[in-house]
Amino acid sequence: MNTTSIAAVKLSVEVITLSVRDVERALRFYVDQVGFTLDVDYSPNDAFRVVQLTPPGSSCSTQIGSGLTDAPIGSLRKVYLVVTDLEAARSRLVERGVEVGEIRHKEPIDAWDGGFAPGPNPARWDYASFADFSYPDGNSWGATGTGLPR
């Protein structure tokens, strides 16, 4: 009988696999526009290709390719990129041609069951302001900030 507590076992998300229609187009989008680093591009045959990309400073990578998953194309919803300056990160993405939604925050401010209001959280709380973008196939991402200027 294994008596090891689940709390004692390290669990970490290290790779998220995305289903995309066009691997080359997705590679260019994530590297050239979003700014991910290309870690691996391996294709031992025509049926399999893995492209691994990592956001700067992240310990979790993203994989795209062929023969990796049977998930429907564009089925990823809301993986969040956590940034230290949401306004600067949004501006950088827009400058690089990514269609990013406007920054918004939860309203009412100290309740998570309400809606959203435009602009960053007035108190600059961590994880309380958001901006979204999608890859053209429909995989959607969110960005949220920590350590925002107060």
Q: What is the pLDDT of residues 40-87, one digit of tens each?
A: 999 999 999 999 999 999 999 999 999 999 999 999 998 999 999 999
For residues 96 and 114, state if they share a domain: yes
- In a domain? residue 139: yes
For residues 92 and 67, state if they share a domain: no
- In a domain? residue 58: yes
Residues 9-28 have a mean pLDDT of 94
Checking if the pLDDT of 8 tops 60, the result is: yes
What local confidence, expressed as pLDDT, does residue 123 receive? Answer: 85
Q: What is the pTM of this model?
A: 0.87
Q: How far apart are CA 123 and CA 57, in angstroms?
A: 26
Q: In CATH, what number is assigned to the domain containing residue 42?
A: 3.10.180.10
For residues 66 and 88, state if they share a domain: no
- In a domain? residue 142: yes
Domain range spanning residue 123?
77-150
pLDDT tens track for 116-140:
999 998 888 888 899 999 988 899 9
- Last residue in a domain, options 22, 40, 71: 71
